[in-house]
Structure 1
């Protein structure tokens, strides 16, 4: 399993639009056969910061995800909303109870 945390800092005026676009992407992403879960988290003390937690069945599943129409729609919509480029960290699972 591959788990990816994506860190996104959004311009304040785009928080609601970012949430809407990201919820659309997450809702469609969990329907993909290679995705176990797709969480969207908003930082409590700074609502312009988000973390996406994406859990994939295999190392090649992110490439399949990035080839979907909903990912392309999300990527293109949110790029101008970001205060800085998004970053990510990849993890292997040690214990994931799902």
Structure 2
């Protein structure tokens, strides 16, 4: 499994638009066969900061996600809302018994 954690800082007056675009992207993403989980969380102390937590079955599923219409719509909608370029960190899950 591939887990991607995306950090996003949005301009203060873009928060509502970012949330709406991200809700639509998350809904579409959750329908993809290779997506295990897709969550968006907002920082309490700074509501302009978000983290997207995306879990994919494998690298190919992550690549396929970036080819979807809902991702392209999200990417284009949120680009002008960014206060800084988004960053991401990739993780793998730890398989353990029980």
Indicate yes or no: 2:64 matched with 1:50.
no
State how 1:79-94 maps to structure 2 within 5 Å: 79-94=79-94
3-state SS, counterpart of residue 59 of structure 2: coil
**Unaligned segments of structure 2, at least 5 residues:** none
**Unaligned segments of structure 1, at least 5 residues:** none
Q: Deviations over 1:14-52 (max 9, x none)?
A: 000000000000011000000000000000000000000
CA positional deviation for 1:62: 1.1
3-state SS, counterpart of residue 40 of structure 1: strand
CA positional deviation for 1:95: 4.8
Alignment correspondent of 1:59:
59
3-state SS, counterpart of residue 27 of structure 1: helix
Moved over 6 A (4+): none
Output the aligned Cα RMSD. Answer: 1.0
Alignment correspondent of 1:25:
25
For normalisation by structure 1, the TM-score amounts to: 0.95
Alignment correspondent of 2:71:
71
